[in-house]
């Protein structure tokens, strides 16, 4: 199973120990398009998790949750 490969274990550990805490502190933005449960990720500060219908569409634009999160992280005002 791919989940047991050393590289898979290492990257999941990195996400949990480094990336996720940094996102929760507001230092990074994580956009999860697929397999959020497999990665152990829940939506919250700094983390956008696409639902099944959003993931199927695969949109990442200024109207999508991920696109809005990127714009916010970059300090862009999309209100106009």
Q: How far is CA 72 from CA 13, 27, 38, 51, in A?
A: 27, 12, 26, 20
Residue 57 lies in a domain: yes
In the predicted model, what is the mean pLDDT of the chain? 89
Residue 59 lies in a domain: yes
**Contact criterion met (CB below 8 Å) for 34 and 44:** no
**Contact criterion met (CB below 8 Å) for 41 and 12:** no
Q: What is the pTM (predicted TM-score) of this model?
A: 0.76
The number of folded domains in the chain is 1
The predicted structure's pLDDT at residue 52: 81
In tens, the pLDDT along 10-40 reads 999 999 999 999 999 999 999 998 888 888 8
Residue 78 lies in a domain: no
Structural domain for 54, as ranges = 2-73
pLDDT band at 42 (very low <50, low <70, confident <90, very high): very high
């Amino acid at each position: 199973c791919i989940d047991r490969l050393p590289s898979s274990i290492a990257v999941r550990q990195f996400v949990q120990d480094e990336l996720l805490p940094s996102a929760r502190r507001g230092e990074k933005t994580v956009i999860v398009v697929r397999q959020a449960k497999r990665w152990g990720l829940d939506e919250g500060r700094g983390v956008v998790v696409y639902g099944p219908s959003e993931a199927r569409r695969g949109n990442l634009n200024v109207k999508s949750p991920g696109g809005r999160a990127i714009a916010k992280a970059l300090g862009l005002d999309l209100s106009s």
